[in-house]
């Protein structure tokens, strides 16, 4: 009986264990070795070398794959041979960083002993590869800039251009290289792009923002034509939403941007395009180069890149950034009767303009344009101006890159609308009394048939009036309170123009006495009245200081069959002129025909002038 029970117990245990043997018990399954993921090999180019000079790439071991990637791009798309200079990873001590800096300088100088280096590309942000430390040419000032890696400071205009990919890791640097490769492939289908600027923080005081004045300077040089304009300044609809849209869409017209950086991002209109928004942008073919006339902004968060760094690191923001420090120069507008007729620049602003001019002059490779810009800046220095802008210029991007051929557009000059009637002036700004009718019209006999204008409140950047003005129109503007305004006008196929004017209760005398920045407006939101009135033209036969002389001329014309009349016109010094005129014509063409007939018949010269109906 006992034996039988043992047999039964053994069978039960056997059948109990049998189903368990066919299951995988958690924790007892056989451990499999992980499959090693091999990195994708870096491409190797077999393209011929077409450039005599070579590029130097500086990197640590972590960035070696990225260095080989950029070396591939240099040969495949630029025909440039690259030499990779490997440096040790920094341990953070000042002594070790100084050793790395001196080592990079020594190797670049040795490679460039016979002038065979085209440019230097540093891979990694400032924590990975320290910024060079060097003394200025006179040895009195210490500078911290990648410029110091370009060779001997004694020959500033001969320094090798240095660029940096401010990546935080080797993987991030490879992503930037991949962005460049996509851009190179897209570039083949877009050999020529027009220039485009999106900039302008808004309007304040009596000046335009630096990006807008950069554009105005290039426009004066014939470099930026009418089709180059997109969202220029607050009046042009410049706002973060528009900028994101242009970045995100396949819009190849956006090639150059002039933007000012702040700690949180780039100032756009009255808003900010933040670093986070820049980093989230997706790739699109028409990537721009950004000119930033302000200082590189300080970091709000050390884990995030600066706004300038974000432009290059983002997959959809831009190819390169040039920035410096606004304390090394300035750019300002000179006004005449409220019209911007000249822009004066110095320091970083002028260096950026020189770069742009060099590119349009045929230096399509960034390194060559930078070299030319430096040489022109050093050669054309003004009295008291030093080379600090050269030393402080920061370039994020690859200097080996060649940009597409530019489209240079030149349009006939356009300085803005003409003031019809007398205005006072204060610091170059036209000043008109409160409740007066301020009239503007196009130049008599000009080549542009019409302009589109906007009137902007300079204190808040809001558009208070917008319309199209044709050659036979007068634009009338009136405000029942004090204010500061800007007319932003552009012919349909011509360049932009800006005109400043103030409306003051006390006129220009009060403005000059108080100073433009200290005047407090007596009415926060004046009521604006604006509209068009048809222009009338008259034929002016003579202008006389004495009324009796004018009356004699009028009588003579009446005898000859002309319906002549005398008009009193005040001059700039408040002395009256008595002008003898005849006719009131609805169009300039009719007035030209009448004046030609008079000159043929009477053998005397006359002048076509604007007039008001019934004058």
Please write the tens of the pLDDT for every residue from 188-211: 666 455 556 666 655 544 556 777
Proportion of the chain above pLDDT 90, given as a percent: 26
Name the residue among 378, 107, 296, 331 with its Cα closest to residue 207: 331
The residue with tokens 């409140």 is 457
Instruction: Using the predicted structure, report yes or no on whether residue 398 has a pLDDT greater than 90.
Output: yes
Residues spanned by CATH 3.40.50.10390 within the chain?
54-165
The residue with tokens 């009796």 is 548
Name the residue among 335, 528, 519, 338 with its Cα closest to residue 431: 338
d(CA 586, CA 86): 77
With beta carbons less than 8 A apart as the criterion, state whether 530 and 477 touch: yes
Is residue 193 helix, strand or coil? Answer: strand
* Res. 144 pLDDT band, cuts 50 70 90: confident
pLDDT score for 33: 53
| For range 9-18, the mean pLDDT | 42
Top-confidence residue, 195 or 50: 50
For the ranges 47-61, 397-411, 418-432, 577-591, the one whose mean pLDDT is highest = 47-61
pLDDT score for 75: 97
Proportion of the chain above pLDDT 70, given as a percent: 75
Cβ of 405: how many Cβ atoms within 10 Å?
13
3-state helix, strand, coil in the chain (%, to 5): 30, 30, 40
Q: Range with the lowest mean pLDDT among 5-14, 185-194, 262-271? A: 5-14
pLDDT score for 534: 78
Residues spanned by CATH 3.30.70.1070 within the chain?
536-611
pLDDT score for 545: 87
Q: Range with the lowest mean pLDDT among 246-260, 360-374, 583-597? A: 246-260
CA R_g for the chain: 34
| For range 553-565, the mean pLDDT | 92
With beta carbons less than 8 A apart as the criterion, state whether 410 and 225 touch: yes
Report residue 574 CA to chain centroid gap.
43
pLDDT score for 58: 97
pLDDT score for 408: 62
Per-residue b or e along 323-343, where b marks 16 or more CB atoms closer than 10 Å to that residue's CB: bbbbebbbbebebebbbbeeb
pLDDT score for 562: 92
d(CA 303, CA 293): 25
Instruction: Using the predicted structure, report yes or no on whether residue 369 has a pLDDT greater than 80.
Output: yes
What is the DSSP track for 70-106? HHHHHHHHH--EEEEEE-PPP-S-HHHHHHHHHHHHH
Instruction: Using the predicted structure, report yes or no on whether residue 168 has a pLDDT greater than 90.
Output: yes
Identify the CATH homologous superfamily for domain 536-611: Sporulation related repeat (3.30.70.1070)
Top-confidence residue, 32 or 50: 50
pLDDT score for 137: 65
Q: Range with the lowest mean pLDDT among 88-97, 120-129, 439-448? A: 439-448
Please state the pTM of the whole predicted model.
Answer: 0.76
The residue with tokens 């402080």 is 392
| For range 499-503, the mean pLDDT | 88
Q: Range with the lowest mean pLDDT among 101-110, 123-132, 496-505, 591-600? A: 496-505
Per-residue b or e along 492-530, where b marks 16 or more CB atoms closer than 10 Å to that residue's CB: eebbbbbbbbbbbebbbeebeeeeeeebeeeeeebebeb
For the ranges 53-67, 197-211, 409-423, the one whose mean pLDDT is highest = 53-67
Instruction: Using the predicted structure, report yes or no on whether residue 67 has a pLDDT greater than 50.
Output: yes
Residues 6+ apart with CB under 8 A from 397: 163, 164, 165, 289, 312, 319, 320, 321, 366
Q: Is the dihedral of CA 210, 215, 216, 220 positive or negative?
A: positive
* Res. 70 pLDDT band, cuts 50 70 90: very high
pLDDT score for 224: 65
pLDDT score for 205: 46
| For range 406-432, the mean pLDDT | 74
* Structure token pair of residue 456: 């902007």
Top-confidence residue, 333 or 524: 333
* Res. 6 pLDDT band, cuts 50 70 90: very low
Q: Which 3-state string (H, E, C) describes 159-198? A: CCCEEEECCCCHHHHHHHHHHHHHHHHHHCCCCEECCCEE
Instruction: Using the predicted structure, report yes or no on whether residue 160 has a pLDDT greater than 80.
Output: yes
Instruction: Using the predicted structure, report yes or no on whether residue 225 has a pLDDT greater than 70.
Output: no
What is the DSSP track for 518-542? TPPPS-SSPPEEEEEEE-EEEEEEE
| For range 385-400, the mean pLDDT | 88
pLDDT score for 496: 79
Give the burial class of 487: count Cβ atoms within 10 A of its Cβ; 0-12 exposed, 13-18 middle, 19 or more buried.
buried
Q: Range with the lowest mean pLDDT among 30-44, 450-464, 512-526? A: 512-526
Averaged confidence pLDDT in the chain: 79
Instruction: Using the predicted structure, report yes or no on whether residue 338 has a pLDDT greater than 60.
Output: yes
C-alpha separations of 134 from 101, 143, 390, 394 in Å: 10, 5, 13, 15
Q: Is the dihedral of CA 88, 89, 94, 96 positive or negative?
A: negative
| For range 499-516, the mean pLDDT | 65
Top-confidence residue, 70 or 247: 70
Residues 6+ apart with CB under 8 A from 602: 560
For the ranges 15-29, 191-205, 570-584, the one whose mean pLDDT is highest = 570-584
Top-confidence residue, 287 or 567: 567
The class level of CATH for 190-406 reads: alpha beta
* Res. 9 pLDDT band, cuts 50 70 90: very low
Q: Range with the lowest mean pLDDT among 204-208, 332-336, 574-578? A: 204-208
With beta carbons less than 8 A apart as the criterion, state whether 285 and 190 touch: yes
Q: Would you state the CATH architecture of domain 54-165?
A: 3-Layer(aba) Sandwich (3.40)
d(CA 259, CA 43): 35
* Res. 152 pLDDT band, cuts 50 70 90: low
pLDDT score for 26: 38
With beta carbons less than 8 A apart as the criterion, state whether 278 and 262 touch: no
Top-confidence residue, 131 or 232: 131
Q: What is the pLDDT of residues 451-497, one digit of tens each?
A: 988 888 877 777 889 999 888 788 999 999 998 888 888 887 777 78
Instruction: Using the predicted structure, report yes or no on whether residue 313 has a pLDDT greater than 90.
Output: yes
What is the DSSP track for 139-161? SS-EEESGGGGGS-TTSGGGPPP
The residue with tokens 């053998």 is 603
d(CA 597, CA 601): 6
Report residue 80 CA to chain centroid gap.
30
Instruction: Using the predicted structure, report yes or no on whether residue 4 has a pLDDT greater than 60.
Output: no
d(CA 198, CA 612): 40
Residues spanned by CATH 3.40.50.1460 within the chain?
190-406
pLDDT score for 287: 75
With beta carbons less than 8 A apart as the criterion, state whether 393 and 348 touch: yes
Q: Per CATH, which fold does 418-513+525-534 belong to?
A: Immunoglobulin-like (2.60.40)
Instruction: Using the predicted structure, report yes or no on whether residue 182 has a pLDDT greater than 60.
Output: yes
pLDDT score for 512: 47
């Amino acid at each position: 009986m006992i034996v039988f029970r043992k047999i039964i117990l053994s069978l039960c245990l056997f059948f109990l264990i049998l189903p368990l043997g066919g299951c995988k018990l958690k924790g007892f399954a056989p451990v499999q070795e992980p499959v090693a993921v091999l990195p994708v090999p870096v491409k190797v180019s077999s393209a011929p070398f077409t450039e005599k000079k070579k590029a130097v790439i500086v990197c640590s071991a972590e960035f070696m794959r990225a260095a080989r990637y950029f070396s591939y791009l240099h040969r495949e798309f630029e025909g440039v041979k690259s030499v990779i200079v490997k440096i040790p990873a920094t341990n953070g001590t000042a002594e070790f960083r100084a050793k790395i800096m001196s080592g990079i300088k020594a190797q670049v100088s040795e490679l460039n002993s016979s002038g065979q280096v085209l440019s230097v590309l540093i891979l990694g942000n400032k924590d990975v590869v320290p910024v060079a430390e060097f003394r200025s040419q006179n040895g009195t000032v210490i500078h911290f800039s990648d410029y110091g890696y370009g060779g001997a400071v004694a020959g500033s205009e001969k320094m090798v251009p240095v660029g940096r990919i401010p990546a935080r890791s080797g993987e991030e640097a490879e992503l930037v290289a991949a962005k460049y490769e996509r851009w190179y492939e897209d570039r083949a289908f877009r050999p020529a792009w027009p220039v485009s600027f999106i900039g302008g923080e808004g309007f304040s005081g009596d000046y335009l923002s630096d990006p807008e004045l950069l554009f105005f300077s290039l426009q004066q040089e014939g470099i930026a034509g009418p089709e180059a304009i997109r969202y220029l300044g607050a009046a042009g609809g410049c706002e973060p939403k528009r900028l994101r849209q242009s970045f995100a869409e396949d819009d190849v017209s956006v090639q150059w941007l002039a933007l000012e950086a702040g700690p949180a991002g780039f100032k756009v209109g009255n808003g900010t395009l933040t670093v986070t928004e820049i980093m989230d942008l997706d790739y699109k073919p028409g990537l721009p180069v950004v000119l930033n006339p302000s200082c590189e902004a300080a970091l709000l968060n050390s884990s995030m890149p600066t706004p300038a760094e974000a432009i290059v690191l983002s997959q959809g923001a831009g190819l390169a950034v040039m920035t410096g420090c606004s304390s090394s120069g300035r750019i300002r507008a000179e006004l005449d009767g409220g019209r911007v007729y000249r822009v004066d620049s110095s320091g970083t602003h002028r260096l950026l303009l020189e770069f742009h001019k060099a590119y349009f002059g045929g230096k399509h490779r960034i390194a060559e344009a930078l070299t030319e810009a430096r040489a022109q800046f050093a050669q054309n220095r003004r009295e008291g101006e030093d080379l600090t802008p050269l030393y402080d210029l920061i370039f994020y991007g690859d200097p080996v890159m060649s940009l597409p051929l530019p489209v240079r557009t030149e349009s006939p000059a356009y300085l803005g609308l003409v003031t019809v009637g007398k205005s006072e002036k204060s610091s170059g700004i036209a000043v008109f009394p409160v409740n007066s009718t301020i009239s503007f019209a196009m130049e008599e006999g000009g080549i542009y048939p019409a302009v589109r204008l906007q009137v902007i409140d300079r204190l808040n950047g809001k558009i208070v009036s917008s319309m199209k003005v044709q050659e036979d129109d007068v634009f009338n503007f009136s405000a029942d309170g004090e204010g500061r305004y800007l007319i932003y006008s552009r012919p349909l196929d011509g360049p932009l123009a800006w005109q400043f004017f103030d409306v003051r209760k006390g006129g220009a005398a009060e403005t000059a006495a108080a100073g433009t920045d200290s005047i407090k407006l007596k009415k926060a939101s004046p009521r604006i009245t604006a509209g068009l009135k048809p222009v009338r033209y008259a034929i002016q036969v003579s202008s006389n200081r004495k009324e009796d002389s004018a009356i004699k001329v009028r009588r003579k014309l009446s005898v000859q069959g002309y319906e002549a009349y005398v008009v009193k016109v005040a001059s700039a010094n408040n002395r009256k002129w008595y002008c003898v005129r005849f006719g009131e014509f609805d169009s300039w063409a009719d007035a030209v025909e009448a004046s030609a007939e008079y000159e043929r018949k009477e053998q005397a010269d006359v002048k076509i002038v604007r007039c008001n109906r019934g004058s």
